[in-house]
Amino acid sequence: MKKFMEEFKKFISRGNVMDMAVGVIIGGAFTGIVNSLVNDIINPILGVFGGLNFSEYAIKLSGDATLNYGNFITAIINFLIMAFVIFCMVKLMNGMAAKMTKKKEEEEVQAAPTTKICPFCKTEIAIDATRCPHCTSELDEK
């Protein structure tokens, strides 16, 4: 049991778990914002232009039971808006990461090589060597 608890503690203290927990909390708060956007702004605007209020769409089944498909349409709109915002955020993050990677690659390319490969024995030697220290072959000066 002690080993299990140590493994669990190690798992919990990893950065990825904490990042995920923060993401879930932020996602929950963001869901409230998107729901408010759809219910308080988008649906009333659709109601003005087309007389649409999705929350009122329902089918009466029997007695007090109703099938509220308008709420389902609202949930789909919420999902699409949330997916679009997340897509934009991921695209922005990927663009920034690509710029950072490109900058690192450019820095690596700019560094002049200090070694070359001997064409005879294929070992790595100093760039300014005129004779290979391994096979003693004379090298062309290029």
- Indicate whether 41 pLDDT > 70: yes
- Indicate whether 6 pLDDT > 60: yes
Q: Which pLDDT value is given to residue 142?
A: 57
With 0.85 as the threshold, say if the pTM is over it.
no
Q: Which pLDDT value is given to residue 107?
A: 72
Q: What is the 3-state secondary structure (H, E, C) of the chain?
A: CHHHHHHHHHHHHCHHHHHHHHHHHHHHHHHHHHHHHHHHHHHHHHHHHHCCCHHHCCEEEECCEEECHHHHHHHHHHHHHHHHHHHHHHHHHHHHHHHHHHHHHHHHHHCCCCEEECCCCCCEEECCCCECCCCCCECCCC
Beta-carbon count within 10 A of 21 CB: 11
- Indicate whether 17 pLDDT > 80: no
Q: What is the mean pLDDT of residues 12-26?
A: 78
Q: Which pLDDT value is given to residue 2?
A: 85
- Indicate whether 48 pLDDT > 60: yes
How far is residue 55's CA from residue 43's CA, in Å, rounded to a whole number?
9
Chain segment 108-129, per-residue pLDDT in tens = 767 777 888 888 899 898 888 8
Tokens of 134: 């391994």
Contacts of 9 (CB under 8 A, 6+ apart): none
How far is residue 54's CA from residue 44's CA, in Å, rounded to a whole number?
9
Chain segment 70-110, per-residue pLDDT in tens = 888 888 887 888 788 888 888 988 898 888 888 777 777 67
